[in-house]
A and B are shown apart, each in its own frame.
Chain A
Amino acid sequence: MPDQPNSLLRINNLNIHFKLGTKVIKAVDGLNLDINPGETVGLVGESGSGKTATALSILRLLNERNIYFKQGEILYQSPTLGIIDLMKVPTKTLTYIRGREISMIFQEPFSALNPIMKVGKQVSEALEAHQRGKDKGFYRLKVLGLFEQVQFPQPEIIYNSFPHELSGGQNQRILIAMAIACKPPLIIADEPTTALDVTIQTEILHLLQKLKSEINSSILFVSHDLSVISQMADRVAILKNGRLEEFQRTREIFSQPNTAYTLGLLACRPRLEIAMKRLPTLNEFNLNPKKDNVKPQTISKILAKKRFSFSAIEKKRATLSKQKNILIVEDLKNYFRKGRNLFQSSTEIKAVDGVNLHLREGEILGLVGESGSGKTTLGKSILRLIEPSGGQVFFDGQMISSLDFNQMRKIRKNMQMVFQNPYASLNPFMTAGQAIMEPMKAHGILINGSQRKERAKTLLNQVNLPLSFFDRYPHQCSGGQQQRIAIARVLALDPQFIIFDESVSSLDVSVQAQILNLINDLKESFRFSSIFISHDLSVIKFIADRVLVMKNGKIVEEGYPDVLYQNPQHAYTQKLIDSIPQADKKLMIQAS
């Protein structure tokens, strides 16, 4: 299969090295890849594995100035120009190819569109660049046709909209319309659904499949998510540190992974169907490339070891239900006014609309919902980081909604929050050690600096970071390490209650597993209760003792995770469960 003579694109021994300071980073290291006509190839890897560098290098979109060394050939079989090497062709040829024969769909639909241009105009610009000399009506009709093709019910209205007036999913459709405008033989999709909600993601994936068969083009689908890939791709290439780990048919990747790395990637994702005590991590798989003969049974063996037996869950629930409530939220509301101007009255957005909930001591309460469902606003309203419009919050028997600023500041010692984006939540001017000592200083914990320093070091140790991280700045750490620092900073106050706001969603699957295990361990040693906010049902299923489903500011369903997933009562919960890519289910069959 890899050596078919008539492949559409063939990458031979591609090397791309960047230079960062004095360090040379091999972003792509001897990569071989081929894409056949009409085929979808998935390119999977963790962040830093070189998948985006590979995708961008095909159209030579990488900034030449940053490239320290590049080598290899990217042979492309053009229907008009014959076989050309995209590494060597002049820029003029490349301009001809870009958009017309190879087009691209980007990750962030908002930043890929020009905010001050109507989207219809932007799509027609893509057409005008490659089909010159037609009158305006021609382009307009074509764009409207494209909009119909990407399933916009009212293309005329969309044509005259600006990007900010459309949702993320709609913007992604615009980008897709732009990409298929010239019916290119090859579309490169760089994480096209990562920035979108699960339900929207399903729609976009279906749309891509439909369009692919309509215009019969190949897709190079780049993603970090194996389950998304499993739905889309005919063949999957797995990248690790710029090297190709594995490249074979999708079904085989899932049923008979050749390398331990692939196996680890498959195993460390939290699963919907099995309750687990701990998640397997990559380290538990033998990553020695010499011993490649891992049998598929290993995965089920490892999973079986970590299984949480039903009786143990029952027991845990029984003890938890006897605990007293540490947090009670009554009828919490947060309304925003938006869009008031001279000509129109404001519309009221009910971000949080009368939420009641209670959290028992030692419990982890999962809060799940799509973006815009108000779950983050709810979390921040509980902590009064956003002032709620109404309702009451009782923490540890004390009503905190009426406390003044300074009283609230003192209470904050006991109620904490870990944010979604670990890098943004750390001050770039402070080292990890300073960041951890900062809250201790603010609340006068421990007497002097040297004691706080000792404690900070202990905390670093507790979140499994070596002591050398004490003097590191956030940008010198990886995402997982940053999130560990953020967790250590919160734990420095020894809080009774922590809100984790999408705290693992920006991390790689393997890192996500480690952090989730860490949170579970720390919960035992620090004895905090928490609300865990996530859009990812499988993460919630793993970590939470009880789940709340949120939609449009309201709690629509509440229950134990396994009960909820097996027998969802609300249609919205059912929709959320249905939109999870199916790979997990396939894998489950393999595993059990």
Chain B
Amino acid sequence: MSNETRPEGVGESRLPRAYDAEVPRGSVFLLLAAWVLLAEGALILVFLPVLTFTAETDIPAGDIASFGTFGIVCLVAGGLLYMRWAWTWWVALGATAATLAWLISDRGLTSWAEVYASGLFAAAVVILLVLGRRAAGRPEAMALASARIPFRVKLTAVWIAIFLMIALFLALVDLDTAWIKENYEYIAGGLLFTIFLAIGAIILAVVLALLGALGRLSKNPVAYGVSGFYTSFFRGTPLIVQLFLIYNALPQIGQNLERISLINILTLTAFQAGVIGLGFNYGAYMTEIFRAGIQSVGHGQAEAADALGMSYAQRMRRVVLPQATRVIIPPTGNEFIAMMKDTALVGFLGVELARAELFRRANLVGNQDLRRLESLIVAAAMYWALTAVFTYFQSRLERRMSKGYVRGEVRQVTGQKRFQFLPGHAGGGGGGAGGVVITGEGEDTETEGML
């Protein structure tokens, strides 16, 4: 590429200059105007039913009809902006003005907040339309403008639109925000127990999965049989049954045998029972992940270790497991995130209020005050935030590990680190995935970070 092709345009545009000349200045604004109009139309049509049911007084059928009509008009006007006729611009302007006028007339709206919202929409559309006047009737210009907007910006816009809709919905259904403010802290107090529960259980699960996998790969019939029984039982019964077995049913053994000491030992707190139940259950599933990871390390690696005179333990610790880890970590992260949500099942155990986890707390206060929608939305949001945070860290971890594929040359390795995650001839399975991450890096990084 020669130097003069695009001296200053590198950062802003991926299109060659020749196209820039043909694109009228305002095409981006016209495009945005079309988007806002389409979004407005969609919003009206989606919330027309909600509004109908939530309004304090019954809305006359005629108003519902005309409101719906305006929604359709907005959609059509937004769509028309993409056509190659200049007059569509006037239609869009007219539709905006008419919708706004109707919404502001006191019959159409239920609160001042909605007046402000619709006024904002209309003002935005009018400004964008004016700025984009020169591009009216130029669909190819809008397509080019669209191509200039990075994918992640569009994606951000979509997410914002979704959240706006949810926010609007929640506002319309009259959530008791005062109640949420009051009880938020109590419910959030369960987060700590949820996190501890998940971390304790994942540690137990990793240990069990490693032992289980080694057992499944062993030629020893005892090891093979025990690990086979373990995975079969804990994958073959529902987690909730296992939790109740451990928490509710175990103490009965002591009662049956009439040994107080046994009753005391077998009576667990909900937290202990949760860690054990979740740990054993997820350990059984992760056994397969670990087994596959260990098997993905080629046979030649084990032979090379053997030929050096290594023992089984040395071979595993120094050669096989370090390479298997690269394969094991991503799915283990998935299991951890899944487990974090399954901690909610522990909420069915136990009566200790002070040490209840997230879901149990939400249920308690929600049922007590008959604020179930509020309490469960808060709980769901917290679980979601929790998993989002861990998903983010997981994707970072995965990216870091797949970078090992290309980094060898870029970063001079100092030799201080004993383990560096690099592909083997054997672990070729991960190669494809690693390649995908690498090629998409520029954009993936930002997108995932945002989500």
Q: Does chain A bind chain B? A: no
